[in-house]
C-alpha cells in the first residue's frame, strides 16, 4: 500500500473507564515515530471519556471523536443526549454517525442527515457509516441499500471535505467475518463512484470497518482504494491496534 495518509479509527463502543486510558500510551509513542507521522489515528471512546482522552492525547497527533450525537444543534430538553456543540466543547474533533449499532437503536437515514448537518455546523469531522445487513446482502440489495443510505444521509450536504465514509457491512461487525476481497473492492469502487458523481469530488475518503484484526489486515490492505480502517473490538487492545497499524504501513 503506497498511501501513508491512512485513517485508523478506534471505536471503543460502550467499553472503557478512566483506568483504561493509560492503555493507549504505546499508541501515543507510535505516533512519534517518523515512519507513522502521516497516519491519522482517531480514538472514539464513550462520551464519559472524551475530555480525558483529549487531555491524554494533547501533545500527540491522535484525534478524539464521539460515537454519536443528537441532531438538535441548540441546547434543549433532551434528557440523556448530548449535541455536537458539546462534543466540540470537549475538544473532540470527530463524531461517528450512522453506525449500525446506533441505527439498530433507532437512527434512521433522515435523522442521520440532520445529525451530519448539526455536526458540520459545529465544525466536527464526520465518520459516516453505511452498510448492508446479512439479509440485504443475501437478497442482492446491497447496491440499493448503500445508495439510499448515501443519498438520504448526505442530502443537501455540500461540505463533503469534512466527511469520511466508513463502509461497514453489518454482517461483518463483531463476527470475525470479512468480505471477499473482490467484493469489497467493488463496493468501495461503487461508493466512490456515487460520491464523485453527486458531490463532484476527485478523491473521497472511504474507510472499511468490520472485524479488522491483526490476522486479516494483510489481506485487507491489498485494496489500495481504501483510505483506512474503522476498528471496533481489536482497538480496545492497544497491542492489536498497533499491530494493525504496523502491518498496514510498512
x/- binding map, residues 121-160, to ligand PEP, per CB under 6 A? ----------------------------------------
Catalytic annotation, pick one of 101, 132, 136, 168: 168
Identity of the residue, 73 or 179, whose beta carbon is nearer to ligand PEP in the bound complex: 179
Q: ∠151-152-153 over CA atoms, to 5°? A: 95
Identity of the residue, 43 or 85, whose beta carbon is nearer to ligand PEP in the bound complex: 43
Distance CA 81, CA 114 (A): 15
Contacts of 129 (CB under 8 A, 6+ apart): 96, 97, 98, 99, 100, 165, 166, 168, 209, 230
70 is an active site residue:
no
Which of 130, 232, 240, 244 contacts ligand PEP by CB under 6 A? 232
Distance CA 238, CA 240 (A): 5
Identity of the residue, 66 or 234, whose beta carbon is nearer to ligand PEP in the bound complex: 234
Q: What is the DSSP letter of 191?
A: H
Catalytic annotation, pick one of 99, 101, 132, 136: 99
x/- binding map, residues 160-179, to ligand PEP, per CB under 6 A? --------x----xx-----
Residue 210 lies near ligand PEP (rule: CB under 6 A):
yes
Contact 231, 11 (CB under 8 A): yes
Cell 461508493 sits at which residue? Answer: 191
Rg (C-alpha) for the chain, rounded Å, is 17
Residue 212 lies near ligand PEP (rule: CB under 6 A):
yes
168 is an active site residue:
yes
Show which residues are catalytic: 99, 168
Residues near ligand PEP (CB under 6 A): 11, 13, 99, 168, 173-174, 209-212, 230-234
Amino acid at each position: 500500500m503506497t498511501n501513508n495518509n491512512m485513517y485508523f479509527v478506534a471505536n471503543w463502543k460502550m467499553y472503557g473507564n478512566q483506568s483504561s486510558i493509560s492503555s493507549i500510551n504505546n499508541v501515543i509513542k507510535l505516533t512519534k515515530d517518523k515512519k507513522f507521522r502521516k497516519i491519522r489515528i482517531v480514538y472514539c471512546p464513550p462520551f464519559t471519556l472524551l475530555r480525558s482522552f483529549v487531555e491524554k492525547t494533547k501533545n500527540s497527533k491522535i484525534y478524539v471523536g464521539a460515537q454519536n450525537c443528537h441532531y438538535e444543534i441548540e441546547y434543549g430538553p433532551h434528557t440523556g443526549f448530548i449535541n455536537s456543540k458539546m462534543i466540540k466543547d470537549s475538544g473532540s474533533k470527530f463524531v461517528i454517525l450512522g453506525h449500525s449499532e446506533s441505527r439498530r437503536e433507532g437512527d434512521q437515514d433522515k435523522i442521520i442527515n440532520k445529525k451530519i448537518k448539526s455536526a458540520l455546523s459545529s465544525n466536527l469531522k464526520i465518520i459516516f457509516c453505511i452498510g448492508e445487513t446479512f439479509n440485504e446482502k443475501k437478497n442482492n440489495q446491497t447496491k440499493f441499500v448503500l445508495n439510499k443510505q448515501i443519498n438520504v444521509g448526505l442530502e443537501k450536504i455540500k461540505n463533503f471535505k469534512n466527511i469520511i465514509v466508513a463502509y461497514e457491512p453489518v454482517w461483518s461487525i463483531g463476527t470475525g467475518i470479512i468480505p471477499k476481497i473482490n467484493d469489497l473492492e467493488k463496493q468501495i469502487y461503487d461508493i466512490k463512484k456515487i460520491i464523485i458523481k453527486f458531490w463532484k469530488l476527485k478523491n473521497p475518503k472511504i474507510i472499511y470497518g468490520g472485524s479488522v484484526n491483526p490476522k486479516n489486515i494483510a489481506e485487507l490492505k491489498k485494496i489500495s482504494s481504501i483510505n483506512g480502517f474503522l476498528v471496533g473490538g481489536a482497538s480496545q487492545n492497544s497491542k492489536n491496534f498497533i499491530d494493525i497499524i504496523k502491518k498496514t504501513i510498512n
